[in-house]
Structure formats: structure tokens, C-alpha cells
Structure 1
Amino acid sequence: MTNHPLKVIVAVKRVIDYNVKVRVKADRSDVDLSNTKMSMNPFCEIAVEEAVRLKEAGLVGEIVVVSIGPKSCQEQIRSALALGADRGLQVECDTPVSPLDVANILHKIQQEENADIFLLGKQSIDADNNQTGQMLAALLDFPQATCASRVKIEHNKAIVTREVDGGLLTVEMSLPAVITTDLRLNEPRFAALPKIMQAKRKPLAVKTLADLAIELTTDIELISVDSPTQRQAGVILSSVDELMSTLRNDPNVQMPKHDKEA
């Protein structure tokens, strides 16, 4: 057990719903968001769920949900409040922000909130950068655990099981810390109607970049967006001999090169 109830900050992002097929604008300048269903990033939902479970276990006293974006992102903050978070904070920003910009903003928020744990999804499903959590930990000089599949808090320490290429890795670190969540950490709950109604009365503050003394510094430029190449139709072959002949002679088929010494 911890010596005192912890404060957790959870960062959430508004993205295109994962069930929606993404459309590219005709001029290829960006993704078309018109009349598109938006939702909370799935990895962020997992982070919210984990924070709520820690609170239900008596380890966390307050959950603060933060989102960066235009007023529309308040919808995702309210969703998190309906799931069990205590208060929300929108950082108003109408322009795209890079992972480093997000990390700098969250760094400023930590200076005001003094949270014990930062929970973030390991990545967003729109940009798939998987960078913000690591950058935030570096700026704060906090220990970090990424791709968490299990989180345990005891004696003011976090014991986190991570999914790595070779299996599972368990690390222990002192708080405060940054933890990013993976898919197998938990199964997010659905908000009941009474909780959704209660969320409308929970506090949701709005801050500007000027309030946080932040200037966006990104030098990333979006050049163009393209839809994935459509998969070509397959070919039905009548025999093994025809298959081998196609593999050897068809210029459109690339055979793997074997090491002559192997």
C-alpha cells in the first residue's frame, strides 16, 4: 500500500473512431474529417480504465484527465469523467501538435498538478508515433515503463510488467513515474447512463497555451497524405508445376534471396 492516496494524470486524445474507414482529401493535403465519427484513442481508454481501477482499489485519490485540442475534445474528456475520472482539463489548441509539443504541455501541467503517476496510451492510432510518454519522462526526469500489460502499486513504487519482443519484462520504479499502456493491460468498461449524466457536472477547466507559457516549436511539416495501395487480385494456378514456373519466371514475383553460404 502507499502512504497516501495518489494523484494520477491521464492524457487522452481525440481521434477518428477505429471502426471508421479513413478518407483522404482530394488534394491529398490531409485526412478528411468531415462528418466523421470521432472517439477517444483506444490506448487512452485503457489508461483511463487503469487509473479508475487503481482508484477503486483505494490507491488513487484523484484522477485528472487532460486533452489538448479544440473545444470538440471536451467530448472525450467528458467520456473519461463518465468512466470515473474526477476532473478534466482541456488545453485549447486549434493547430496540430507534435509529440514533443504534447510532452512540453504535459510537463507544464505537472508543475501545477504535482501528480504521482502519468498514465498515457502507448501511442495514438492516427499518427502511431509512440513517442510522447518517453519524451515526457525525459523532460520530467521521471522513471518510465512503456507498453505496460500489468501495473501494481505498493510501498510508493510501481511494479510494471512490459511486453517486449522476447516475452515479458517486469520493472520496479519509484514514484512519481510515467507509464504508457498496451492493449492487454485491461478491458475498458462502458459508462452507465447515470455516470454520463454525473460527468456533466464534474469540473472541466480550460487553459490556453499562453496560460501555460508554451509556444509550439514543431518543425514537422505534413507534405501529403495517400491512401494505401489497393491489394491486387490473386491468381489461381492449376498445378504445382505452373506455380513453380510462375515463381521462377514472372517478373512481378520477387523470390527471397538465400545466402549462398547457408
Structure 2
Amino acid sequence: MAQGRLAGRTAIVTGGASGIGLASAELFADEGARVLIVDRDEATGAEALERVRRAGEAELLVADVAADGAAEAIVATAIARFGALHVLLSNAGVHGSGETPALRFDSSIPINLRAGYLIAEAALPHLQQGGGGAIIFTASVSGPAVGFASPHYDLAKAGLVGLTRSLASRWGRHAIRVNAICPGFIETPFIGPHWTQQRLDDVRHDIALGRLGQPEEIARVALFLASDDASYVTGAAIIADGGWTIHFDKY
């Protein structure tokens, strides 16, 4: 049951058209936030906007978060449409691919790490103007537990955890809390195309809870970090993996 935990606040959710981003946008809106959904897929974004508007107030911005000037444009759009900014969920991400290490690196870092940093910097003055706020990065268990994914992905997500701690230490005096969520294996389109049934079965076997997570379960962690319930939490990287990292040494 909604409790109005984000009533009167504005939130940006990047990568908000599917998976964890969509679930978070819906939950934020249901809890009273005005939500700017940012996604580069216009068709999927339109469908997401329709869903989120059933929960509350929302707008859509079709944009590639890694493009030059995108961070400033995203924040400016939120301010123009809603008048303020209180919460940033930097969730957009890709696995990255390419035939060479350089191509794999260049396909991962701009979206998974650089874009998050730039949009946080763009959001800073507006969060300060509003008396503070919350920044949340969607990292991964490959951040604190590097080694199970591709090196370029591990690097980006570990970088997000480091960025979280760095910004939290610098911006805390402005009443801006910065945290990361480190999801494990979640049933989203991000996993679907890349995983065989055998690999999924093997992963489930080594998750303490015996199943993959749902986007809504990660969204509830994001809501906690966005709300006043987490008023004394900053610089944290919260692992939400159903207990998978307990068995990480098997990989």
C-alpha cells in the first residue's frame, strides 16, 4: 500500500522503460513522485509512460544518456517540466560487446559509468537548491564481487561503487545522499538474450533463496534509498542478490 513516501518530489529514472528502471519509476510514482522516465527506445518508452501514468504523474524523455550534452539536457527537462529535482536513479546500463578489448571497453564505460557521473554532476546544483536529495546508482554484484562477468562490465560496475563513495563523501554536507544498489540475477530483458537455460539453472542452484530476483524487489530498495527512510544512509553499496555472493567462490 502506497504511503506517499515521495510525495511532492521529482525523480529522474534513466533506463526507465523496462526492467528495474520501469519497476522503480512505477513505484516512485505510486509513492507520490513526479517521474521523468529517460530511455533511448521511443516505442518501449511510450509503453512505459502509459504504465507509470497509471500510478501517478510522469513524463518521458527519449535520449541516449551517453550522448554529449545528454546529462544537462535530461536535468534541464526535469526542471522545465516539474520545477525541481529531488531524486536521481541512474539506472541505464548495457553489457557491452565488441570484437576487441578496446571496442568492448568503449561500448560499456560511456553508458555504465561515465553517463552516471555526468548526470549526477548536472543534478548537483538543483539538488542543492532544493535543500538536498538522493542519488542512486544501479551497479551490480559485479561491483563488489568482480570476476563473474566480462572485465569491461566488472570494471564499469566497480567504478560505480567507487563513484558512489566518492560523491557521498563530497556532497554529504549538502544533504545529498549517494548510494548504489548491487543487484544479483534479476529477471529482466538484460539477462534474457544472453543466458542459456542451463546457465540459469546453475545460477539458481547457487542463489541461497533458490530463484532469480524480480525487478520490483530491486525497486523497493531504490524506494528506500530515495525516501526519508534512508535519511542516515550514504556511501553504501547495498547487495540485493538473494544470497548469491555467499557462494561466489564456486565461480
TM-score normalised by L of structure 2: 0.37
Greater relative contact order (Cα < 8 A, sep 6+): 1
More strand by share: 1
TM-score normalised by L of structure 1: 0.36
More helix by share: 2
